[in-house]
Structure 1
Amino acid sequence: MVGPSGSGKSTLLNMIGLLDKPTSGKIFVDGVETTRFNESKTSEFRNKKVGFIFQFSNLLSDLTVLENVMLPRQIGGKTVGTKEEAMKLLKTVGMEKFVHKRANKISGGQAQRAAIARGLVNSPSIVLADEPTGNLDSVTADTIVQLMKSMCKKIGLTFIIVTHDRHQFGDVDKTITVKDGRTTDGEDEEEPPVMEVTIK
């Protein structure tokens, strides 16, 4: 998802992820109108269906890398197999040597790798990434991009990525341009603002 600063990219991403609610229109995810959810249903859906990766990794500095990755499952009440799943993902993203390091003792690129593992630990259907490489140098950013694309193919997940640098991501399945709060990817602009995300 691309577009100029202030166009509404992050807002749209936040609405898909149920972090924000639209002031008008409706959001459908997998055929379900999520704008009708109450607070409890919203939290449950977000925890089960959506993974988040942010520009700043947002790891908790006083927890280890492993503890950070395990956290979403623990919040969701899952205990069985949580450590094993977190370890497996950390190995997949090349962070198995850093599992017991505090989050404030690793580099930015390493933190973002851990954040990707954390975003996947609940086996979500969709992963939302808001400028996931915006805080990284170009070499590390390219590594993170390739890692996300590899994970997408390996696990079969849908990634929706907001970026200011479209070219950094190379070939993707679809590019959506947001301008002045509307998508401009060829859809009828006279239609009401309904965004549908199909999850399979």
Structure 2
Amino acid sequence: MTKIYGEAETKVRALDNVSFSVKKGEFVLVIGSSGSGKSTLLNMIGLLDKPTEGKVLVDGFDTSNLTDNEISTFRNKKLGFVFQFANLLADLTVLENVLLPSQIQFDSSTGDKAKEILEKVGLKDQLFKRANKISGGQAQRAAIARGLVNNPTIVLADEPTGNLDSVTAKNVIEVMKKMAKDLGQTFIVVTHERAQFGDVDRIITIKDGRAFEGEHSPELEVVA
């Protein structure tokens, strides 16, 4: 897919013919310098923006022709999101924050699942604490649980450790990897902090809007 912003002299090719596929259960890092196109790529996959050319397939489904309302529904069912900041609602409990995506779907049956996921991410004893009463690392783990509660096809994480100290970041990364392994959950993680993540299933490097397989192989183009 390709994404172009602006016109004529102001035209910027943020993504240039990027094409790759991700297998179920893979933990994929997307790395690259600032302005390389990493966040634009995540926005395309997350259906937060539309490519100028090409298409995004999720579970084999072509999302190109969805209406705005259909996109919102599809995104909530199929995609989980974790951002640099946990963005928890301060006046809600940890459990209530994690349940928000299921409430958007009017699904009242996920309470037990939310508790189970919160236990898996190490927050069993924090369920009923207000979100403003827990640490930054706990908040980010709650955000991961929130991203998982609807059993999404893919969890998209944009700089999920960018607001954390190195020790807390390591703990959060371990939680994400554990969830990927235990749940067979697919993760696509954009990061500047490649070294923090250690061994992962795949690395995709974005450079000047183009995608390359691996960490040190800019000459090797990604092909779906």
Q: Aligned runs of 1:44-193 on 2, under 5 Å?
A: 44-80=73-109, 82-185=110-213, 186-187=220-221
State, as a whole percentage, how many aligned pairs show the same letter.
64
Is the counterpart of residue 14 in structure 1 residue 43 in structure 2? yes
**CA distance in structure 1 between the aligned counterparts of 2:179 and 2:98, rounded to whole angstroms:** 16
- 137-146 or 20-29, which deviates more: 20-29
TM-score, normalised relative to structure 1 = 0.90
Q: CA-atom RMSD, angstroms?
A: 1.4
Following the alignment from structure 1 to structure 2, what is the Cα–Cα distance between the partners of residues 125 and 158? Answer: 7
Q: What is the CA-CA distance between 1:167 and the residue it aligns to?
A: 1.5
- The AA in structure 1 aligned to 2:42 is L
In structure 2, give the amino acid aligned to 1:33: D
| Paired position in structure 1 for 2:9 | none
Cα distance per residue 1:21-69 (max 9 Å; x no partner): 1223322223222122111221121111111111100111111111000
SS at match of 2:56: strand
Q: How many residues align?
A: 189
2:56 paired residue number: 27
Equivalence for 2:17: none
- Length-normalised TM-score, structure 2: 0.81
Find the aligned partners of 1:88 and 1:27 in 2 and give their Cα distance. Answer: 31
SS at match of 1:134: coil
